[in-house]
Structure 1
Amino acid sequence: MNITINATTRKDQGKGASRRLRHNEQIPAIIYGAGKEPDTITLNIHEITHLLENEETYTSILDLTIDKKTQPVIIKDLQRHPAKNLVTHVDFLRIDMNKEIVTNIPLHFMGEEDNEAMRLGAILNQFVTAIEVSCLPANLPNSIEVDISKLGMGDHISLTGINMPEGVTIIALTHGDIEAHDQSVVSVQEPKLMSEEAQVVDTETEEGATEGGDDKAEDTSGS
């Protein structure tokens, strides 16, 4: 899916210029990388807000059109208003389609409804929700699916257990000592037994009763 973002060249800079842009329903942005000088640009606030409602915008190669010239980019950073949650600035990274890029890709855990252990009350623990990967831009996935349907009670999936798309490499597993960096991604945990919870309640009740009895004894002796 091709996603196009329209922009115009921006010459004015500074806080005052940025406030004027936002007043006119525009926001400042910058594009850098690929061995070229950074370019300051302007985006339409409504267009970029609408595009960001689609999760794939964050992990896709975007067609950024500046004054009718189009170039491939990815979103590198976003700034938002702390109270209004409005986008206030966007950083774009230029992409060379012939060179690998490094970026974060979200994990989508699939098969929860088919997991027998979870149907019996097991708890799913997600330790990692996104992983840093390296690949050519043409191989960049929007997300990576992790099948949890077969996980039993106490089972887990680590980084090496993820089925990666062809041409996509997990950065954490390229540091030499794979075992040291092969962290758990997701696990299925046994829920607390009802009897254990009941024991806790009984203990608290007994302690409360003892405290109440001591108070009563003290009152009687003092009368």
Structure 2
Amino acid sequence: MVDFTLRAIARDDLGKGASRRLRRNADMVPAIIYGGSKAPQSVSLEARELKKALENEAFFSHVIKVDVDGKNNNVLIKALQRHPAKGHVMHVDLLRVIAGHEVTVLVPLHFLNEKSCVGVKQGGGIISHTMTEVEVHCLPKDLPEFIEVDMAEVELNGIVHLTDLKLPKGVSLTALAQGADHDLPVANVHAPRVAVDDEEAGEEAPKDEGEESAE
């Protein structure tokens, strides 16, 4: 399991102007830590350190340690505000993680055995992903970095639903808590579109004059 630690500095200079100066002059990113019984705390994160951490997929579904002037905070990323044109992070919302209190987090899906999938090898099918992440509910200690989706035995025209996912102990899907009608598809194996179009065209093609006269 990856261990993420970020260094932060508490800040009192607030407002949009202060945030712009922070990003421009100090190569820092403004952030806020909130949640739990403590008051929200405005901090500054090192932009370069944050950028490197964001390159790892697990960073978004992992309990992160934020060292604020020597005091440790366990947090989860709840929101990132990015520049609309340049894409760099402009602000980060960090939610405090309290031991024994359940959290709700988006976790990425990892699709396994796609090349050896029955529907692909024997049926000539193509795999489509209808989800790339799922929302889970669990204690912080049970939070998975990702959830695996095994495609090995999925046949042509087969569909993998949320209820087909194997979840770690203590982890539940928030969608399924809303009822059976929220058992959404995660992935499917379907015939190539070209083959389907050709088959349909063959069924609809009119008989030529020679065939009609022969009858």
Normalising by the smaller structure, the TM-score range is: 0.7 to 0.9
Matched residue, 2:48: 46
Q: Counterparts of 1:80 and 1:195 in 2: how far apart (Å)?
A: 41
CA distance in 2, matches of 1:98, 1:196: 55
For structure 2, list consecutive stretches of 5 or more residues without a partner in the other structure: 205-215
1:104 corresponding residue in structure 2 = 106
Of 160, 169, 173, which residue of structure 1 is paired with 2:172? 169
Q: CA RMSD in A?
A: 1.9
Corresponding residue SS for 1:138? helix
Alpha-carbon shift at residue 84 of structure 1 (Å): 1.2
1:34 corresponds to 2:33: no
Identity %: 38
**Structure 1 length as normaliser, TM-score?**
0.84
Which of these two proteins has the greater Rg computed from alpha carbons?
1
CA contact (8 A) 2:119 2:157 kept: no
The structure 1 residue matched to 2:27, chosen from 20, 25, 42, is 25
- 2:162·2:183 contact (CA, 8 Å) conserved in 1? yes
Q: CA deviation at 1:193?
A: 5.4
**Between Structure 1 and Structure 2, how many residues are aligned?**
200
Q: Which residue is 2:12 aligned to?
A: 11
Give the CA deviation at 1:59.
Answer: 0.7
| Shift of residue 13, structure 1, vs aligned partner | 1.0
User: Could you tell me how far 1:92 is from its partner in structure 2?
Assistant: 0.2
Q: Secondary structure at the match of 1:76?
A: strand
Superposition pairs of residues 103-182 of structure 1, within 5 angstroms: 103-119=105-121, 121-175=124-178, 177=179, 179-182=180-183
| Counterparts of 2:135 and 2:200, CA distance in 1 | 44
- Please tell me the residue identity of whatever aligns with 1:125: S
Deviations 1:99-125 (A, max 9, x none): 111111111111101113223531212
Normalising by structure 2, what TM-score?
0.87
Q: What residue identity is the alignment partner of 1:70?
A: N
CA distance in 2, matches of 1:161, 1:167: 16
Rate the CA distance shift 1:158–1:196 in 2: closer, same or farther, 3 A.
Answer: closer
Q: Which runs of 5+ in 1 are unaligned?
A: 204-223
